Amino acid sequence: MTISKLLLGAASLAMIAGAASAESHMAETSDKRIALSNNYAGNSWRQAMLQTFEETAEEAVANGVVAAADAYTTSENQATEQAAQIQNMILQGYDAIVLNAASPTALNGAVKEACDAGLTVVSFDGIVTEPCAWRIAVDFAAMGREEVDYLASRLPEGGNLLEIRGLAGVFVDDEISKGIHAGVEEHDQFEIVGSVHGDWAQDVAQKAVAGILPSLPEVVGVVTQGGDGYGAAQAFEAAGRDTPLIVLGNRQDELQWWAEQRDENGYETLSLSIAPGVASLAFWVAQQVLAGEDVPKDLTVPFLKITQDTLDAALESTPEGSVANVVYTLEDAQEVIAEAK
């Protein structure tokens, strides 16, 4: 037998072994049940996140990868309510919990209870610090700093900034704001002259910005967290003020507004946010842990960035009322896990 035939045979055996291993890992979780514990659903990002999880879960159940994958959302963004939800999931016999947490620390007791009961807990977006849990994180502080870096590249003379924060008391809000303020310290030609909470929702942000604008001097830029850029633009227009450079957050209404402004007057900006499809990654990470894979406790994913050059493609692929997204497959999850190792 020639060397080439030997190599071909070895490669074929490796492919067969890999396929058999994948099928085995699927079979190992076919009787497992995964639950999503989500703390908040009051904006388009959260709705897209829930939809992505549900679509991923439905397909996995239909293909026999898991026995069940159910999504639950608390009525309020309260850690006590979500802790009770987690305790109910333990009692209901779930094997894993995929968790978007109301607090990085306040849920640690409930998470430890779940781990002690034998459940796998994978937190994402709003992560927890309990060591027994897995964490899928975006460097939100870096996202905030990048907003100010971008403004500095476009507005080298600096000026006054308005900060629109997210949902008060949530880890993500604190981290993005921390990054923004670090960026302003570095680029001291800027000054934050006002700050409001927009709750990552266009209508809330519009009302909050409209309320503070009369008290503000000229604003050259708006730093945001997502779901708030279009509302800010509407508030500036209603007040009869010039539209500043607003960093956007990948929502369809923002992208549509941006495209219209670009076509009318050459408006240029940047849009960035965590993709709601991170929920699908969290699902597959939980499945891999249940299948016995060695998965590092801390995984990192990049935030999704849209530029002037990619705006049209992003807008075309984003449904009306939704958010630009990336959906993760099992293979994507395995690649993220391998990179973390």
| DSSP tally for the chain: helices H, then strands E | 12, 12
Residue of 146, 151, 152, 147 whose CA lies nearest to 245? 151
State the Cα–Cα distance between residues 250 and 224, nearest whole angstrom: 11
Flag residues of the chain having pLDDT under 50. 1-24
> What is the model's pLDDT at position 76?
79
Do 42 and 227 form a contact (C-beta atoms < 8 A)? Answer: no
pLDDT digits (tens, 9 = 90+) for 160-196: 999 999 988 888 899 999 999 999 999 999 999 999 9
pLDDT on residue 170: 85
Distance CA 109, CA 137 (A): 20
Residue extent(s) of CATH 3.40.50.2300 domains in the chain: 30-138+275-302+324-340, 140-273
**What pLDDT does residue 18 have?**
44
State in words which class domain 140-273 has.
alpha beta
pLDDT of amino acid 301: 92
Let me know if 183 is exposed, middle or buried by CB neighbors in 10 A (0-12, 13-18, 19+).
buried
For 271, the enclosing helix (H) or strand (E) is strand 271-273
User: Scanning the structure block, which residue is given the tokens 């050059």?
Assistant: 309
CA distance linking residue 223 with residue 147, whole number of Å:
7
Say which residues have a Cβ less than 8 Å from residue 271's Cβ, sequence separation at least 6: 229, 247, 248, 249, 250, 254, 255, 258, 305, 306, 307, 311, 314, 324
CATH code of domain 30-138+275-302+324-340: 3.40.50.2300
Helices (H), the chain: 3-28, 44-62, 79-91, 108-116, 140-154, 171-186, 202-212, 229-238, 252-265, 278-290, 311-316, 330-340
pLDDT in tens, 34-69: 999 999 898 899 999 999 999 999 999 999 999 999
Tokens of 73: 């959302």
Q: Quote the pLDDT of residue 210.
A: 98
Three-state SS for 308?
A: coil
Per-residue pLDDT at 27: 55
Angular region, 240: left φ>0, alpha ψ -120 to 50, beta rest:
left
